[in-house]
Amino acid sequence: MPENVTTAPPVLPGVEWVRPRPGRRGYRNDLVLALVLAVGTAASVVLYRATGWGEGTPWWGAALWAAGMTLPLAARRRVPEIVALVASAVFIVGAVVGVGEALFSNIALFVAIYTVGAWGRSRRVATIVRGAIVVVMFGWLFWGLIFYSTVQDHLPELSREGLLSPYLAYGFINVLTNLLYFGGAWYFGDTAYRSARARAELEQRTAELAAERERTRVQAVALERLRIARELHDVVAHHVSVIGVQAGAARRVLAKDPAAATASLSAIESNAREAVDELHGLLGTLRADADTGPLALVDDAESTTGEATTSTSTRGIARLDELVRESADGGLPVTLAIVGEPRPVSPVVDLSAYRITQEALTNVRKHAGAAATAEVRVRWTDAALEIEITNSGTTTSVAGARRSGSTAGSTGGLGQLGMRERVAAAGGTIELRTRARGGYLVRAGFPLRREDDA
């Protein structure tokens, strides 16, 4: 840490802020200021004595007074209240004994009082100390004005007669001068304190914003990892499952039914190409995200605030019929029923509905048995979209589901976890459970925005 910088304490509501002390460089500057004022005061004393002022004070007394008036300023930011009280006392002593210097001593006293307001550790103590100094100084001023008004040979050239006598005007000038003097020291000290506090608040907010940006960056990276995991799981699991089923079918009929084997191999080829195309598109998206920096790593269908954005996938509800036909070609009898009038949906809902259906059908092929059938129902209402996938398999038992980590209500399986994450991203709900009469149920609901709310 630089030697002239100290860490500012946090600004907390309802708690008095304490201005941090300066570093070593700041203390060296205070020492230099004290020495410069000491030299200036000594030179001023010499000049005043040359004019006849302060000749009644011995040289050693004037030297001690000059040192006492200025050298304590070297500690003005360490103990500002003590330095101000010492400077005020020495100032009064110098006036009483008649040192005669009235230039640098006033500068030193002004700096001392200013420092109390600018660097005081407690605002209450700073106010009390400055208030006491001002009261004493003005009491001493008024006492002097009253006392000298009774001395006939004091300021003999000034008449005391008239509505506003010259002597009264002289008194008003002294009062006004001292008001400006002490008021200026008080005001500028408080202003410096408030400016330091405002800087500390700004630095604190800047640090908080930097921390929030870092948290957002970490969150964005985590969201991107989740998106990659979901997409890879959905793409690979679906197509590899279809390829496995078709390869098994081709192996069984290769010798006795070459045409059926050829159809299965064609399905394998088609699924392999689709898998490669989807993986290629996903990798292209990742490269685009990497080019735009870490903060761009957000879900392709959802921003970090949950708002839908443009999806990079071409999969959606409109292609559910292709998915159903593909599953049927792969040996799983599937029917598709659409209830209600389709409506435009956000990209996140569009992609999530497709991927959830894809994952559910993949699980049917993997765990429901060879005799299983499946049904996909899409229900459109004014307020929501519902996707329901059921199967009649008899082997989608708890044991079979447990092997894949997809028992009802479980969050351990990657497939179910991906479904839940997609539904949560769209603000919907999902139900995953075994059916009482056999098979399994996946039901996902997505809220839809009304046109007049858009």
Q: Which of 154, 174, 191 is the last residue of a domain?
A: 154
The set of residues, in sequence order, having a beta carbon less than 8 Å from that of 408 and lying 6+ positions away, is 398, 401, 432, 433, 434, 440
Distances (CA, A) of 261 to 24, 240, 252, 268, 275: 86, 18, 8, 10, 21
Domain enclosing residue 69, as ranges: 24-154
In a domain, 271, yes or no: no
369: left (phi over 0), alpha (psi -120 to 50) or beta: left
Q: Which of 103, 124, 154 is the last residue of a domain?
A: 154
Q: Which of 108, 130, 154 is the last residue of a domain?
A: 154
- Transcribe 336-362 into DSSP letters: EEEES------HHHHHHHHHHHHHHHH
Distance of alpha carbon 390 from alpha carbon 404, whole angstroms: 17
Distance of alpha carbon 185 from alpha carbon 196, whole angstroms: 17
> Which tens digit of pLDDT belongs to each residue from 168-223?
787 888 899 999 999 999 999 999 999 999 998 999 899 999 999 888 888 877 77
In a domain, 325, yes or no: yes
pLDDT of residue 117: 93
pLDDT along the chain (454 residues), means of 10: 52 73 92 95 91 83 93 94 95 88 93 94 93 94 79 53 69 90 95 92 90 86 71 67 69 73 72 68 58 44 39 73 83 88 86 87 79 90 91 54 40 70 85 86 85 43
pLDDT of residue 397: 38
Q: Give the tokens for residue 113.
A: 């009082």
In a domain, 163, yes or no: no
H helix intervals, 314-413: 320-329, 347-367, 398-403
In a domain, 433, yes or no: yes
Torsion of CA 354, 360, 363, 367, to 10 degrees: -150
pTM: 0.55
Q: Give the tokens for residue 414.
A: 């990657």
In a domain, 207, yes or no: no
The set of residues, in sequence order, having a beta carbon less than 8 Å from that of 350 and lying 6+ positions away, is 301, 311, 316, 317
For the chain, the domain total comes to: 2
In a domain, 56, yes or no: yes
In a domain, 450, yes or no: yes
In a domain, 363, yes or no: yes
CATH number at residue 428: 3.30.565.10
